[in-house]
Every structure is written in C-alpha cells, then in structure tokens.
Amino acid sequence: MTFVDDKVVITGVGQSAVGRKLFRSGIDLAIDAALEAIAHAGLQVEDIDGVASYPGPVQAEGGFVGATTHEVRDALGMRTNWVLSGVETPGQLGTLMDGAAAIAGGRATHVLAFRSVCESSGQAAGRAAALTSVAERARGHAEFRMPFGAASPANWIGMYAMRYMHEFGLTREQLGQVALNARRNAARNPKAIYTAPMTLDDYLSARMISYPFSLYDCDIPCDGATAVILSRRGKAPSTGRTPIAIEAAGSALYERHTWDQRVDLTTMAAHDSAAHLWQQTSLTPADVDFATLYDGFSYLTTQWIEALGFCKHGEVGPFLDNTAYYAPDGELPINTHGGQLSGGRLHGYGFLHEACVQLWREAGERQIAKDVQVAAVGVGGGPEAGCLLLRRDS
C-alpha cells in the first residue's frame, strides 16, 4: 500500500530568485514560485483549487513567515475548494502531505504547496538587538529555554550532537563532511548562496557558534520561495514530463514534542518519521537512488541518514568518512544542490524541489549522471520531522 493509494502525483515545481538581502517581499517571491510551478505543471491559475503552506500566520521574528496561504490565494484571485497552513505539523512538508490527502479524499484536484522566507532581509537589523529588546516574557517551549540563554536551535540541536558524539565517537572532522559535501555541490547550483571552495581546515577554523557547531554547521538565512504542484493522477495535462508518485510519506512522532525529553537523545523525530515511511512500501533503503536530507544544522543530515536506514544507528561517522559514496557520482548522492548549508535556508521545500528536478532530469549542470527513479526526502529537526519517498513513474 502506498501513500494516498497512489492517487496523487507531483506535476510541477517552481522557485523564485534565491539570495541574501534581495529586499523583495515574501509574497512577491512566493508569487514568482507559484506561477512558475503552475506553468511547469502545464496548468493555469484557474486550475488550482487547493493551496497549502508552512507555517501560516504565526508570530515570528525576522522574515520567517514570507507569505501565508491566504496571501497567495488572494493575490492570484484563486477560487479554492480547500486551503491549509500550519506549524503544528510534521516538519515543513507536513501541510503538503495533507494537500495530497485532500486530493485523494476528493477535496481538491490540483494543490499548490509552498514555503516563502525572507529571513536575510528580515534579519538585517540584527538578532541580538531583537532579543534584548523583548519586553515580553518567554512563552511556550521558550519558557523553559530562554531564561538559561538557550536562545537558538544551535543550542538545542548542539546538545543532541554532543550526546551522540559522546556515545558513538562521531568527530567534528566527520560532521564537517556534511558541510563540505554541501559546499562542493553548491558550486553547480546557480542559485546557491555560498559556492567558494571550502577545505576541512576552513571548516575547523571557523568561529564557534555553540559546540560542536561552528559557523559552517549552521545554514544560511536567505530570501526565496519554493512551490510544488500536486495533482490527482490522470488529471494533469500532458507536459512530456513523467509524473512523480509519492510512494510513502512519514509523519509519525512517537514521543512528546519537546527539545529535551526524548528518551534516547541520540535519536530525533526523524527516526519515528522514517520508520513510519518504510511501513508503507515494499521498497527498501537499498532501492533509493539519491537523497535530499535536511541540513539546517549539519548534524540533522546525519540523523536523517541513520533514520532512513542508510547506515546503522551509531555508525554515521564511518559513513561520512566515505565521501565518494554520497558524492554526485556515488552510490547515494546527498544534497546535490548544496542543501541549506551552502544553498540557503529555503526551509525544507528546497530539498523536495531538488529531488523533483533530479528525477525529471532537469537539474542542469548538477544532474546526477546515473538514471534516478527513487528519491528519499527528509525534512526537519528535533521534534519536527516529515519524509517522503518519491518514485518517478516508469
């Protein structure tokens, strides 16, 4: 049994300009991405009857919410049968999964799903100033973190990484291979932010943020939007492009949604999500041709590598030593676009976009040479996780 009974396919993708300090609004970027994706799918705006986005109109600083579902549907004058946004969802792709379920359930035929960020322009004013000028007190999960100076995901995720390194001997040199792989691959992505060659020495000598993370373990805030079109199978116009099936979708979380109470601190929600994904398909990790794995922090990629079964628990260090294995011409290419570490924090959707253009052989200079039919996409970190297994119809 596959996700949504194989009734839903991906038919198009689109992406705005991506960069630092573009000083364009998040809605403007989102419209670029949406129109490109709709045209890519061979559809008209009038054909779209469902819209989903992450995270919706939440309170957040610095360009985190580039555009909401309603802002995009209103800007394009859409008549919709179904809309959604949400932040309490399994990772940034969570509402996209619900969009697929909406199509399978008959609520929509073509769903536009998107994520827009303008965090580079939004943070130009400086975050320290924002944090120390907060007159309000810390609420929600921040109530139990901010008073102790644990202000950033770099702190919360850094502590998971420190525990894993303590348990299994993962080294900074090994962790750094995630960042070096991303930088090498970014050189072939014309939209990537950082493309200058980086050595292991560059990585190790970068200024520390929060142990074990240095500057190059942390992704780059950027401006940009990404959109994906989901269609009911058989309803998309002929574009000459083979639709991409969603073979399986992992959305599970088996423990409380916290940053410090997970029983095994050497795993994350990614492990629950990936277990859920593999329950839905007869395919196995050995069938995956390439993977795009979240790298908001380098350590998160290591968690997805393990969670999705590309190595055993505790063995991601030796996996990372074998850099040829996950290079673009290797057995399992990972983050061929440079990820968020070098490509920019498109916040999850960049990984899905890359998986689709590789499966369609539209990745240009960075196209994986071997034939690729099955992709694993893992998105999120800490208690946030969602993953997709994509299969190009043969």
Partner 1 sequence: MTTRPAYRVLPAVTAESAAFWTGGAEGELRIYRCHSCQHYFHPPVGVCFRCHSRDVAPEAVSGRATVATYTINVHPWFGDAFPTPYVIAIVELDEEPDTRLTTQLVDCPVEDVRIGMPVEVEFEHHDDVWIPVFRPVAGSVA
Residues that bind partner 1 (CB under 8 A): 127-129, 131-132, 134, 136-139, 142-152, 154-156, 158-160, 162-163, 166, 207-212, 256, 258-261, 263, 265
Nearer to partner 1, 77 or 140 (CB): 140
Residue 171: CB minimum distance to partner 1, A: 16
Residue with smaller CB distance to partner 1, 35 or 209: 209
Q: Which is nearer to partner 1, 1 or 142 (CB)?
A: 142
Check if the beta carbon of residue 79 is closer than 8 Å to that of residue 49.
Answer: yes
For the bound state, the minimum distance from the C-beta of residue 75 to partner 1, rounded and expressed in Å, comes to 35
The residue among 381, 388, 374, 389 whose CA lies nearest residue 178 is 381
Alpha-carbon distance of 337 to 10, in angstroms, equals 19
Q: Which is nearer to partner 1, 68 or 210 (CB)?
A: 210
Minimum CB–partner distance for residue 210 and partner 1 (Å): 5
Q: How far apart are CA 371 and CA 387, in angstroms?
A: 22
Q: How far is the CB of 297 from partner 1 (least distance, A)?
A: 12
CB nearer partner 1, residue 87 or residue 265: 265
Nearer to partner 1, 149 or 234 (CB): 149
Rounded to whole angstroms, what are the CA distances from 7 to 231, 236, 249, 375? 9, 12, 13, 18
| Least distance between partner 1 and beta carbon 320 (Å) | 20
Residue 376 near residue 389, CB atoms below 8 Å: yes
Nearest distance, CB of residue 64 and partner 1, angstroms: 16
Contacts of 217 by beta carbon, 8 Å cutoff, 6+ apart? 175, 176, 178, 179, 209, 297, 298, 299, 341
Q: Calculate the alpha carbon distances from 80 to 18, 54, 92, 102 in Å.
A: 28, 18, 22, 12
Type of residue numbered 148: F
